[in-house]
Amino acid sequence: MIPGPIEFHPKVIEALGQPTLSHTDPAFINSFGNALYMMRKVWLAPTGQPFVIAGSGTLAMDMAACNLIESGDRALVVSTGYFGQRYADLLKRYGADVTILEAAVGEVVTPQQVEAVLDKGNFKLMTFTHVDTSTAVLMDAKAMGELGQKHDVLTVLDGVCSVAGEEIRQQEWGLDVVITASQKAIGVPPGLALMVASQKAIKTWNNRKTPVGNYYCDWANWFPIMQAYENGNPSYFATPAVNLIQALEVSLALMLEEGMDARFERHKKLAAEFRKAMADMGLEIIPKKEEIAANTLTAPYYPEGVNGGEFIGKVNQEGVVIAGGLLGSIKSQYFRVGHMGIVSQEHIDTTVKAIQVALGK
Ligand SMILES: *Cc1c(COP(=O)(O)O)cnc(C)c1O
């Protein structure tokens, strides 16, 4: 029950354990093409361009930044915790002129605050973390997409802790790049960086005046590969993570079988139940209001006098693995429980019970 790597469906693990095919084997070409096709449905981006490369979520952040930023471009980072700061550092490596708009701990940056900065503007791109995994705060992705459209600023949604768990309608909401990684709500072991880019983002990249400052991540290297596999042809730039991509195909198919709306609802329902259980035990959570509390993880403060390490150890003894704090300024004061992917009522009940027992001890 940590915010990634999560628990995986047995069918996903089974796909991962198959003998590794050649990356030009017709069966693999079919799996890869199918995975790309299904990503558009999971991201709800019918005309978006999916990319799958070997790496973690940070590499997906890197890929979005290096392809869209040229030295001197202005970028706005809307930060609600740990991963906002990472995006600011990353963008600076590509010469971006970065402005950070940072929320107080447990708060979001409101659309009004974002708009006030965009008005002063000339920003090329803005990034925001949909669910910051260090605070469990949820940003309003729809409002951010609308602001990006209104101000003609590209929006990059760091959805590593939200895609396939929180409601995201990429195309309808006007979001340009939505990134994630395999090990969180996507439900595949760590090792894949994933994203879908809008046609506007692809056009911006096409119109660059300077070369992309990152060789491995350059869309020029990957765009033809994704197109070839989706058209049923083998192609090579760098060896794809064959088994992980086959596992991704299985996981995406399971999601579409459930249906995205049903999946969003299941996450909402179980998260609300978990938060209620925490409140009933007298535990306060980091997000200051229910409306900005994430549905993929919860971050409660320890009660007065509880030693964090000891508490997590005792929860572990009950057979449940949870995570400690991540945000520097309050790291030792709270813990984190992930509830995404194949999370079920049973997972929630077992976890609540384990926390109760550990607190009792
Ligand atoms: C986990 C996470 C990342 C980083 O992903 P890695 O796979 O660890 O590189 C980035 N952003 C958010 C919101 C995350 O939850």
Comparing 33-37, 119-123, 192-196, 281-285, the range with the smallest average pLDDT is 119-123
Choose which residue among 161, 217, 298 to substitute to test ligand 1 binding: the one with the highest number of ligand atoms within 8 A of its C-beta: 161
Mean pLDDT of the chain: 97
- State what percent of residues in the chain have pLDDT above 90: 100
- In short, whether 83's Cβ falls inside 6 Å of ligand 1 is yes
For the Cβ of 58 lying below 6 angstroms from any atom of ligand 1, the answer is yes
Of 128, 147, 144, nearest to 80 by C-alpha is 128
- Mutation pick for ligand 1 pocket among 6, 58, 130 (CB with most ligand atoms within 8 Å): 58
Nearest CA to ligand 1 atom 2: 160
Residue percentage of the chain with pLDDT more than 70: 100
Q: Which of 127, 133, 179 to mutate to test the pocket of ligand 1 (most atoms within 8 A of CB)?
A: 133
Residue nearest to atom 6 of ligand 1 (CA): 57
Quick one: which atom of ligand 1 is closest to the CA of 190? Answer: 7
Q: What is the pLDDT of residues 52-78, one digit of tens each?
A: 999 999 999 999 999 999 999 999 999
Three-class DSSP category at 355? helix
d(C-alpha 182, C-alpha 191), whole Å = 7
Question: Do 147 and 116 meet the contact criterion of CB atoms below 8 Å apart?
Answer: no
Measure the CA–CA gap between 271 and 17, rounded to whole angstroms.
Answer: 31
pTM of the predicted protein model: 0.98
- Structural domains in the chain, CATH included, are 10-258 (3.40.640.10), 260-360 (3.90.1150.10)
| CB of residue 138 inside a 6 A radius of ligand 1 | no
Asked whether 298 and 275 are in contact (CB, 8 A), the reply is yes
Q: Is 217 helix (H, G, I), strand (E, B) or coil?
A: coil
99: pLDDT confidence band, cut at 50, 70 and 90?
Answer: very high
pLDDT at 3: 97
| pLDDT confidence of residue 253 | 98
> What would the pLDDT profile of 317-359 be if each residue is shown by its tens digit?
999 999 999 999 999 999 999 999 999 999 999 999 999 999 9
pLDDT in tens, 160-204: 999 999 999 999 999 999 999 999 999 999 999 999 999 999 999
Contact 356, 282 (CB under 8 A): no
> Does the pLDDT value for residue 263 go beyond 90?
yes
Residues near 291 by Cβ (< 8 Å), separated by ≥ 6?
A: none
One-letter amino acid identity for 226? M
**Residue of the CA atom closest to atom 1 of ligand 1:** 160
